[in-house]
Amino acid sequence: MGIAGMGFGAGLLGFATGNAMMGWCGMSGALLHIFNHALLKGTLFLGAGAVLRSAGTLEIDELGGLRKAMPKTAGFFAMASAGICGLPPFAGFTGELLIYIALLNGILRGRGGLVVWCMVGVIALAMTGALAAAALVKAFSGTFAGLPRSEKALQAFPEKTGMTVGMGILLIPSLLVPFLAPVLFPDYGILGKNAAFSLMMLILFRGVRSLSRKTEPRQVGTWDCGYAAPDGRMQYTGTGFIRPLGDLFSSFLRFRKHTEPVNGGFPVPAAADAEAEDLALRMIWKPLFCGVTRLAEMTHHFQSGYLHLYILVMLIALAVMLICGIIPWGGLFR
């Protein structure tokens, strides 16, 4: 939603400074991004529901290898992940492209502070897209690729057709928008180029997929780094995938680490665990919810179930309103 906020902000700045191109591109990109986000985030949630039903867990580090058991869910999840990251040929790419055009137009035609804020917007938009891509690559690869990491993932069963139909229904409109946009907005030549680029990406993807299907699989030995029997515990986990990003933002994330190191010549099982603290939860939402909870506990005494207490509260409230209506408040502040 921050991307949509950047689009609306760029649009309002464009209209305020008389830059119609910046205004319309910013507003159009924001609305299109909201449309795409609603469709593809719904697809991802349905995919997560299918995984939960089949494997019984949503812990990424306990999953892996579900693509064999749930190929349709894996395909829809991969496409929705690409679309929500702003990759072609989905509506997210078109929406973010319009926001980029709005911000770059503000840099080229704006002055002073507008140029600075548009440059900050371009950098923030690029970083948001990169972080979203990293998060969703982690989600897809840790869930569907590789080998099963637990007994739950190993015993996962195929999804039902009805679950994949829902994902397909949400995915199709986001796929069609880039090709309909040039028809609905013929004045924007960039949308026609975007449609041609999206079509080229579709043809390229289809061609690569066709070639991969025609290629005969070969049975070869796997380089196992010296291990005779590699299993799911040796492969890259979702936590390990985002570790470099975690180290980059360690001053903000505040990792809590717990390790049981390997000791002795014949060590007992060792473990390592790292958990990042959610600053928004600690600094904003937890104090807010605690305050609301305390307020609710204070007012809970009025819900005693005694009718005479409710009538008394109503009479007091009525008396307060009558007093507020009678007192000439205007004269008190002259």
Per-residue pLDDT of 98-147, as tens digits, reads 888 888 888 888 777 888 888 988 898 888 888 888 888 888 888 888 78
Residues 207 and 286 grouped into a single domain: no
| pLDDT value of position 334 | 54
Provide the pLDDT confidence category of residue 203 given band limits of 50, 70 and 90: low
Residues 10 and 113 grouped into a single domain: yes
Interacting residues of 95 by C-beta distance below 8 A, sequence separation 6+:
3, 7, 28, 29, 30, 31, 32, 33, 35, 36, 86
> Considering the domain boundaries, does residue 235 fall inside one?
no
Residues 131 and 50 grouped into a single domain: yes
Q: Which residue in 130, 144, 141 sits closest to 241, CA to CA?
A: 141
Residues 14 and 103 grouped into a single domain: yes
| pLDDT value of position 289 | 92
> Considering the domain boundaries, does residue 224 fall inside one?
no
Last residue of a domain, one of 179, 194, 214: 214
| pLDDT value of position 307 | 80
Instruction: Please compute the mean of the pLDDT values over residues 272-284 and round it to a whole number.
Output: 76
Listing DSSP states for 86-136 in one string gives T-TTSHHHHHHHHHHHHHHHHHHH--THHHHHHHHHHHHHHHHHHHHHHHH
| pLDDT value of position 229 | 62
When mean pLDDT is compared across 68-77, 225-234, 303-312, the lowest value belongs to 225-234
> Considering the domain boundaries, does residue 220 fall inside one?
no
> Considering the domain boundaries, does residue 302 fall inside one?
yes
> Considering the domain boundaries, does residue 123 fall inside one?
yes
| pLDDT value of position 299 | 77
Exposed / middle / buried, residue 281 (Cβ in 10 Å: 0-12, 13-18, 19+): exposed
Last residue of a domain, one of 214, 241, 259: 214
Residues 39 and 160 grouped into a single domain: yes
Residue 175: which domain range?
2-214
Residues 297 and 193 grouped into a single domain: no
Residues 7 and 152 grouped into a single domain: yes
> Considering the domain boundaries, does residue 15 fall inside one?
yes
Instruction: Please compute the mean of the pLDDT values over residues 289-302 and round it to a whole number.
Output: 84
Q: Is the confidence at residue 321, as pLDDT, over 80?
A: yes
Residues 168 and 287 grouped into a single domain: no
| pLDDT value of position 187 | 57
> Considering the domain boundaries, does residue 85 fall inside one?
yes
Residues 78 and 165 grouped into a single domain: yes
Last residue of a domain, one of 214, 241, 263: 214
Residues 190 and 289 grouped into a single domain: no
pLDDT digits (tens, 9 = 90+) for 36-91: 888 888 999 999 999 998 888 888 888 888 888 888 888 889 888 888 888 777 77
Residues 209 and 304 grouped into a single domain: no
pTM across the whole model: 0.68
Alpha-carbon 102 to chain mean position: 23
Residues 186 and 315 grouped into a single domain: no
Instruction: Please compute the mean of the pLDDT values over residues 189-207 and round it to a whole number.
Output: 62
Q: How many domains does the chain have?
A: 2
When mean pLDDT is compared across 11-20, 27-36, 131-140, 298-307, the lowest value belongs to 298-307
> Considering the domain boundaries, does residue 75 fall inside one?
yes
Alpha-carbon 130 to chain mean position: 12
Q: Is the confidence at residue 190, as pLDDT, over 80?
A: no
Q: Is the confidence at residue 258, as pLDDT, over 60?
A: yes
Q: How far lies 267's CA from each of 132, 228, 238, 263, in Å?
A: 39, 19, 26, 5
Residue 270 or residue 139, greater confidence: 139
